[in-house]
């Protein structure tokens, strides 16, 4: 499923050129929920997309990734990750895709908020 999420991120970033204060270039965070909905957060440093998830009663995120405009994978901001966990404690178990030295790594969200 991460492959599909990577494709969603690439496609969305191809249409975004807006740079916001605090970010060096455009970024998207892709969230997959336990009911197979995909959400795209654009330049979202604080996790404001969580309001949309709450309104839809779709707060359990099972996978996430953050991609910069140049295609590199990174971790979302601490504030974003913290907001996900405050929204739903089960999100401590969210799989987070990260860039390793030679390949991708998957960590649990709780392991990134220490």
pLDDT at res. 23 = 86
pLDDT of 55-66, one tens digit each? 999 999 999 999
CA dist 97 and 109 (Å) reads 10
Specify the pTM: 0.95
CA dist 91 and 23 (Å) reads 25
CA dist 8 and 10 (Å) reads 6
Closest to 5 measured CA to CA, from 94, 113, 84? 94
pLDDT of 72-101, one tens digit each? 999 999 999 999 999 999 999 999 999 998
Q: Where are the beta strands (DSSP E) in the chain?
A: 27-33, 38-42, 61-68, 73-74, 95-99, 104-108
pLDDT, the chain, mean? 95
Determine phi and psi for 95, rounding to 5 degrees: -80, 125
Q: Are 66 and 72 in contact (CB under 8 A)?
A: no
């Amino acid at each position: 499923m991460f492959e599909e999420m990577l494709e969603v991120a690439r496609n969305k970033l191809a249409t975004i050129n807006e740079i916001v204060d605090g970010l060096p270039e455009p970024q998207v965070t892709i969230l997959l929920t336990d009911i197979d909905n995909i959400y795209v957060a654009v330049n979202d440093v604080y996790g404001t997309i969580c309001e949309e998830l709450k309104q839809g009663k779709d707060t359990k995120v099972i996978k996430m990734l953050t991609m910069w405009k140049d295609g590199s994978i990174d971790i979302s901001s601490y504030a974003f990750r913290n907001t996900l966990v405050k929204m739903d404690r089960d999100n401590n178990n969210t799989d987070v895709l990260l860039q390793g030295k030679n390949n991708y790594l998957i960590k649990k969200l709780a392991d990134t908020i220490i």
